[in-house]
Structure 1
Amino acid sequence: MSQILNLFKDERISGVIVLIAVLLALIAANSPAAEIYALIHHTPVHFRFGPLIIDEPLVKWINEGLMVIFFLMIGLEIKQQLLEGHLSTLKQAALPIFAAFGGMMLPASLYVGLAWDDPNALRGWAIPTATDIVLALTVLSLLGSRIPVGLRIFLTALAIFDDLGAIIIISLFYGQTVAATPLIIAGFALLGLLLINRLQIFQPVIYIAIGLVLWIAMHKSGVEASLTGFFIALSIPIHIPKAGASSPLRRTEKKFHIWNVLFVIPLFAFFNAGININQTTDFWPLNSVSLGIIVGLCIGKQVGVFIASRIAVATGLAQLPKNVTWFQLYGVALLSGIGFTMSTFVATLAFPNTDLIVSAKISILLGSVLSATVGVVVIYLSTTKISSK
């Protein structure tokens, strides 16, 4: 069993599962099964407990409910890396911080410039700012031992800070009209998580209970409820003062990793990548949403990451990773334009129940494929030159 679990820790396997889910979704949406796919996609799921009522389509439960586990895993990785990992010192974190900032600002600016005259399209400005950590590392791992360790660490750190930035953007800009009473309840739930963290308590049932209250309160308040996972992750202790006790954070990460890889992300991909190609012919790629996303992912990400990295190193605020060349780092900057999972998630928040979501999703897929293809070629050429010396 442990060998099977270790297999799914390999980014190549995780990425392949996501790609299969995307392919199946595209087939389902463009085949005789399209009506069945749409019916399941929009199936209403009703929950009631006394006066509490939550009535949403199945896809909404997946995007706001199951994705709690996705954000839990992101939060656990960010916390572990910042406290004990490759980002635990400012010097180690400086380069990916600058790179992530540049890789978010420029794509957003390019998108805004292209969509400035369309208020509806303008809501999608954050779509091209995110990097899909699973798929980006999957593509990088295809080159195997040719990749310097420092390059892999840089891409991982860049994607982590990218995800952190995306979480901040979602919480600040993509909520609905905020309801005061549920928001106050959510605040008390957050204080509860902070308290059990300070007391070094790690009883899963307590986290589940408070997390459930927090999720319901955030959902009812209009704040993106899936971010509950991130807040829970930050409250889980990395160590507890007990001799011989294992890390609660690592135990949680180990327990949920397989569910995230095999169930959460593939299910999200399957229910959000099902684009009917015929629906795109009337408005793609000539609208500002599609152009903004493709330009943002394919040009904004690579230029923003690379230029910000050059500035950070030139000013002495950061240094290039050991055994990594600027040509290789440029290849990673290209790979940062792979934005499927988080970009699609932002798109579902930016364009709920509108035709623009179709244009956004197909543009994300195209931009990600182009970024991955060119990035692999550049990194392959750069590592070939090094190995020939």
Structure 2
Amino acid sequence: MTAPRQRTLFGLLPWPERQAVAEALRTETIGGMVLLAAAMVALVWSNTPWSEAYEQIRDFHFGIPALGLDLSVGHWTADGLLAVFFLVAGIELKRELVVGELRTPATAALPVIAALCGMAVPAALYAATAAAGGGSLDGWAVPMATDIAFALAVLAVISTHLPAALRAFLLTLAVVDDLGAILIIAVFFTSDLNLWALGGAFAGLVVFYLLQRFRVRGWWWYVPLGITIWALMYNSGIHATVAGVAMGLILRTTRDKGEAASPGARVSHLVHPFSAGVAVPLFALFAAGVSLSGDALAEVFTGPEPLGVVIGLVAGKILGIFLGTYLAARFTRAQLNPDLAWADVLGLSVLAGIGFTVALLIGELAFPGAEVGEHVKAAVLIASLTAAVLAAVLLRRRNKIYRRLYEEETLDADADGIPDIYQRTPATGDND
């Protein structure tokens, strides 16, 4: 009986997985650049003499009151446009569960353990900081999520050639983070339930599933049904973004015979650019506009709630993800890629401390209309900037190694569309 081959941590990804990851990250990177621009516009606009106009636009209400949909611009972006973001997140999670890193216990162990530690430790540090300062524990979930688009935009700005396996690990971390965030939003930030509306939303999801089950095609079926499910979910008292991730998880991500692409892949291809380039940046535009006065900045480091967010995102993410990855590697007896070092995992852990979109959303839900909510938003921005700077310093130090690995992974001397390394070397990554 032969001994099982030892798995390599952050080794070469299988070619199909690398293609899927590259496509997802390409859109996220471009969207991240737009997200950065939107956040900068929000910050500048809200700290100029025209800040009153910013607040008037953000708080302007419109909709259909008879259907319970009379929302402000800010709420339309948070409850409506972010549902599109979570639709894409649901599709990506389904793909990971079916054909990606999460499809088997062996490959799922590392990113899941790392992500869970990366959520639990920041939440614990926030709770400890807030309790020590006599603050509110309501914001414990704010520092738990990683913003993959923002993180990839930072990588693009600092021009770091991070190996595909590390990027894939970061993407999977963010996917698990998103699932954790939506569960937290659904369970802990649900107002009084309207059971009739909730029942209607579930009935709509059943119809959505049956349409997929019986291979019904045509946007005219799914778009009106999706909007109806979203509206019913909003009126049920559960945050409307839950509808997005539920529909994403229902969409089929495997191809039938004769299909060029699965429904999930087709929807993701059509919707992902809108999500990354329009929906998330517009949310950032109306969520990131906070005061950066001296008093407001001082409150970030003196108020227990915002300070807990900063410590949770910066220190908590580093400790949680690095220790989670190390423990998972020891538990699964995986060997670190000999071309990499644990310093690379540390840099990735720091990068994961960039929490923006979901952190801002949970901050709004945890502290609605409260002054401390604005300080928590400022804390998210400052913590994300701090994590970005630290990650840039750590990752740039190793960029020569990353560049060499990147060139080896992408060299295609015979120009056949497949990198040469895949034609002479079996994949040695987590997918073994």
Evaluate the alpha carbon distance shift between residue 119 and residue 80 of structure 1 in structure 2; reply closer, same or farther with a 3 A threshold.
farther
Distance 2:341 2:179 in 1: 26
User: Does structure 2 conserve the Cα–Cα contact (< 8 Å) formed by 1:150 and 1:321?
Assistant: no
Partner of 1:172: 187
- Work out whether 1:201 is the aligned partner of 2:201: no
Partner of 1:153: 168
- Work out whether 1:91 is the aligned partner of 2:106: yes
Distance 1:163 1:151 in 2: 18
Partner of 2:128: 113
- Pick which of 147-156 and 346-355 moved more: 147-156
User: Does structure 2 conserve the Cα–Cα contact (< 8 Å) formed by 1:150 and 1:322?
Assistant: no
User: Does structure 2 conserve the Cα–Cα contact (< 8 Å) formed by 1:86 and 1:92?
Assistant: yes
Partner of 2:76: 61
Partner of 1:296: 312
Evaluate the alpha carbon distance shift between residue 138 and residue 319 of structure 1 in structure 2; reply closer, same or farther with a 3 A threshold.
farther
Distance 1:173 1:67 in 2: 18
- Work out whether 1:357 is the aligned partner of 2:373: yes
Evaluate the alpha carbon distance shift between residue 30 and residue 327 of structure 1 in structure 2; reply closer, same or farther with a 3 A threshold.
same
User: Does structure 1 conserve the Cα–Cα contact (< 8 Å) formed by 2:27 and 2:276?
Assistant: no
1:130 pairs with one of 145, 154, 158 = 145
Distance 1:139 1:199 in 2: 43
Q: For 1:46, what is the secondary structure of its paired residue?
A: strand
2:347 pairs with one of 319, 327, 331 = 331
Q: 1:339-388, CA deviations, whole angstroms, 9 ceiling, x for partnerless residues?
A: 01110111111111111111011100111111111112112223447889
Distance 2:339 2:216 in 1: 42
User: Does structure 1 conserve the Cα–Cα contact (< 8 Å) formed by 2:111 and 2:169?
Assistant: yes
Evaluate the alpha carbon distance shift between residue 237 and residue 165 of structure 1 in structure 2; reply closer, same or farther with a 3 A threshold.
same
The residue type equivalent to 2:219 in the other structure is: P
- Work out whether 1:306 is the aligned partner of 2:322: yes
User: CA shift at 1:10, angstroms?
Assistant: 5.0
User: Does structure 1 conserve the Cα–Cα contact (< 8 Å) formed by 2:200 and 2:229?
Assistant: yes
Partner of 1:22: 39
Q: For 2:319, what is the secondary structure of its paired residue?
A: helix
Distance 2:383 2:285 in 1: 19
- Work out whether 1:373 is the aligned partner of 2:389: yes
Partner of 1:3: none
Distance 1:139 1:44 in 2: 34
Q: For 2:332, what is the secondary structure of its paired residue?
A: coil
RMSD after superposition: 2.5
Distance 1:99 1:189 in 2: 35
Distance 2:256 2:144 in 1: 40
- Work out whether 1:44 is the aligned partner of 2:61: yes
Instruction: Identify unmatched segments of 5+ residues in structure 2.
Output: 1-22, 406-432
User: CA shift at 1:250, angstroms?
Assistant: 1.4
User: Does structure 2 conserve the Cα–Cα contact (< 8 Å) formed by 1:95 and 1:319?
Assistant: no
User: CA shift at 1:209, angstroms?
Assistant: 2.5
Partner of 2:234: 219
Distance 2:75 2:62 in 1: 9
User: Does structure 2 conserve the Cα–Cα contact (< 8 Å) formed by 1:335 and 1:372?
Assistant: yes
Evaluate the alpha carbon distance shift between residue 319 and residue 210 of structure 1 in structure 2; reply closer, same or farther with a 3 A threshold.
farther
Evaluate the alpha carbon distance shift between residue 145 and residue 125 of structure 1 in structure 2; reply closer, same or farther with a 3 A threshold.
closer
Q: For 1:92, what is the secondary structure of its paired residue?
A: helix
Distance 2:320 2:254 in 1: 37
User: CA shift at 1:242, angstroms?
Assistant: 5.0
- Work out whether 1:253 is the aligned partner of 2:264: no
Evaluate the alpha carbon distance shift between residue 210 and residue 281 of structure 1 in structure 2; reply closer, same or farther with a 3 A threshold.
same
Q: For 1:56, what is the secondary structure of its paired residue?
A: strand
Distance 1:387 1:275 in 2: 38
User: CA shift at 1:142, angstroms?
Assistant: 4.4
Aligned residues: 382
User: CA shift at 1:11, angstroms?
Assistant: 4.3
Distance 2:40 2:393 in 1: 23
Distance 1:46 1:128 in 2: 32
1:287 pairs with one of 287, 291, 303 = 303
The residue type equivalent to 1:235 in the other structure is: I
Partner of 2:418: none
Q: For 1:121, what is the secondary structure of its paired residue?
A: coil
User: CA shift at 1:245, angstroms?
Assistant: 4.2
User: Does structure 1 conserve the Cα–Cα contact (< 8 Å) formed by 2:193 and 2:238?
Assistant: yes
Q: 1:213-253, CA deviations, whole angstroms, 9 ceiling, x for partnerless residues?
A: 22122111110012211111112222453524432211111
User: CA shift at 1:19, angstroms?
Assistant: 1.0
TM-score by length of 1: 0.91
User: Does structure 1 conserve the Cα–Cα contact (< 8 Å) formed by 2:135 and 2:304?
Assistant: no
Distance 2:343 2:163 in 1: 13
TM-score by length of 2: 0.82
Instruction: Identify unmatched segments of 5+ residues in structure 1.
Output: 1-5
Distance 1:379 1:320 in 2: 17
User: CA shift at 1:269, angstroms?
Assistant: 0.7
Partner of 2:20: none
Partner of 1:163: 178
Evaluate the alpha carbon distance shift between residue 130 and residue 192 of structure 1 in structure 2; reply closer, same or farther with a 3 A threshold.
same
Q: 1:309-339, CA deviations, whole angstroms, 9 ceiling, x for partnerless residues?
A: 1111112265546743211011000111000
